[in-house]
A and B are shown apart, each in its own frame.
Chain A
Amino acid sequence: MNQEDYIIELQDVNTIYEGEKTPAIYNINLYVQHGEFISVIGPNGAGKTTLLETINGILPYTSGYGSIFGKEIKKYKIEIRKDIGYIIQNFDIDPLSPFLCKDIVMTGRAGKIGLFRFASKNDWKAVWHSLGLVGMIDFAQRPIGKLSGGEFQKILFARALVQEPQLLLLDEPFSNLDLSARQNIEKILTKIYHKRKITILMVSHELRSIPKECSRIIVLDKGKIIMDGDREEILSSEIVHSLFHNGGCCHD
């Protein structure tokens, strides 16, 4: 396979936080093709969020080589981020936040529209389309702080989708959600995956929140990829069972 065919390519990547000596992730070798749906699992502190932030360039890697869409992360981080949808973990929202849902969805498109340009009719069309995809059109004019956890998560999904991303990075998108909200979001995720054929990398610390569409699982532990393979192969492995309590949450 040619290098250009990889959506994500990480070679011997190490990421060390400023002021620390031990890398948060190290010797990371990861190759992801277009259209793959991958789950990254591992205990708390395994480096899952660090991996996502290294991929979208928010956190600069200390050594190794990384490229997204065939472009070196360090050199083109601002450019590549325009095509990466990102949902961050445990987002607490102030109930009095002065923002309407439609405006928050539009913020996902800010990078794509570019500096010195205004949102066009087409950009707003994309906002309404994304809100429709997640079933939140009726919430467009609502204040963001007034939403429930599940509704808020759907708005964050719409925000990521309005970018029309090639790659979607999801950091524990089901955390803090009740069962029905979780199933609802999972349905949306499945719909988006089939409809848009995008590449998805989803971080999770629970085996039960791995969607059916996910075909490949990566296991991270203490900053290192300890397993990378087919869903069935990984889920039946002894190592994964020892890391997780009966398919539930992962322990350290």
Chain B
Amino acid sequence: MAVVVMIDIAIGLLIAPVLGATLAGFVCSTMGVFVVRMNLASIGYCMSHAAFAGAAFGVMMSIDPLISAIVFSFGTALVLGPLAEKARLESNVIIGFLFSVMIALAFIFLNLIPGQAASATALRILWGSVFAVKTNDIMLLSVLSIILVLFIAIFYKELISIMFNRKLAESVGINAKLFYFAVLFFTGFAVSLSLRLVGGLLVFALIVNPTSSAYQFFYDFKKIMIFSPIIGVISCLIGLWLSLVTDFPIGASIVIISALIFAISIVISPKRKKGICR
């Protein structure tokens, strides 16, 4: 009887991490398809460090670090697009600028946090933790997943047009700027909500790796759009299992698995074999 109860508790404890890993894998690698195509791969670590600065700020102000992390990530997403447009610089240059500002802010906030235990709370957001996922995170990740599916289904023709060439998209009457900002905004959302589980330092790998793996197999954007999230979810679930079995940090386990999938994809990629086009 006691064994059954213990198994029930163990399964109960696992439901949140499994759901969290599945949803985080889905949202991050879905946004990855756009981020990679737009050459904004560095946006991941910019957002994650913004979130870290936000978490440090939250601990300093004694508010929920996740909320302040989300606010900082959002703020970065909102500032990035217009700033790149205004400064007439490549988005990657602005990302580098914002990245350094966020790191600087994070150091200042950490310095102002009294006591080491509190600093450790902020730092935990950088590493991620299997059991840090809360019901609220899962709810928000579910809502974001539904919004992303609807966003992509409804605006697929606009998105594919912009991903092919922004100027040509504008030339047929598409408001490319609006969709560009929407992609940045949703990426900020996806990163912030995945922080507790995957950790800020490694969340950008979850954006880039699954998409890069999917790119190895297909020339069809629709197929990449379908397979990137599948690879993302698989990476997260196997990473979660690895973390539980070996006691490795969850973020590191997920990244190792997704990197392995990427390496295998490169080796077996049909794009590198002659006479095959998918």
Contacts and interface: CB of A to CB of B under 8 A. Distances in A.
B274 interface: no
A142 interface: yes
Contact of A99 (B88, B171, B219): B219
A145 B220 CA distance: 11
Contacts of A88: 165, 167-168, 171
B167 A100 contact: no
Nearest to A80: B173
A81 interface: yes
B161 A107 contact: yes
Nearest to B161: A107
Given A81-B172, A143-B277, A98 B154 contact: no
B167 A104 contact: no
A15 interface: no
B161 A91 contact: no
Interface string A108-121: 11111101101100
Interface in B135-181: 154-155, 157-158, 160-161, 163-165, 167-175
A111 B160 contact: no
Given A103-B160, A110-B158, A78 B168 contact: no
A98 B170 contact: no
A58 B174 CA distance: 11
A61 interface: no
Interface string A1-38: 00000000000000000110000000000000000000
Nearest to A114: B173
A163 B175 CA distance: 17
Interface string B19-40: 0000000000000000001000
A96 interface: yes
A88 B172 CA distance: 12
Contacts of B161: 107, 110
B167 A99 contact: no
B157 A86 contact: no
Interface residues of A, number: 38
Contacts of B165: 88, 91
Contacts of B171: 56, 58, 81, 84, 86, 88
From A86, A97, A107, A142, residue with most partner B Cβ within 10 Å: A107
Nearest to B173: A111
Interface residues of B, number: 29
Contacts of B189: none
A108 B161 CA distance: 8
A21 B170 CA distance: 26
B133 interface: no
Contacts of A107: 157, 160-161, 164, 168-169, 172
A219 B163 CA distance: 35
B157 A96 contact: no
Contacts of B175: 78
B255 interface: no
B52 interface: no
Contacts, number: 88
Contact of B158 (A97, A115, A142): A115
B271 interface: yes
A19 B169 CA distance: 25
A161 B218 CA distance: 27
A187 B154 CA distance: 38
A110 B174 contact: yes
Contacts of A84: 171
A116 B153 CA distance: 10
Contacts of B97: none
B224 interface: yes
A98 B218 contact: yes
B131 interface: no
A10 B164 CA distance: 31
Interface in A128-176: 142-146, 159, 163
B164 A99 contact: yes
B219 A143 contact: yes
A18 to B, nearest CB: 7
Contacts of A145: 219
B65 to A, nearest CB: 38
B219 A86 contact: no
B89 to A, nearest CB: 13
What 7 pairs across the A-B complex have the smallest Cβ distances?
A111-B173, A143-B219, A111-B172, A107-B161, A81-B173, A86-B171, A110-B157
6 contacts: A19-B88, A78-B175, A99-B160, A100-B221, A107-B172, A119-B157
Given A96-B271, A99-B219, A100-B221, 19 more contacts: A19-B88, A56-B171, A58-B171, A78-B175, A86-B168, A86-B171, A91-B165, A96-B219, A97-B164, A99-B160, A99-B163, A99-B220, A103-B222, A104-B164, A108-B172, A110-B161, A110-B169, A111-B173, A113-B157
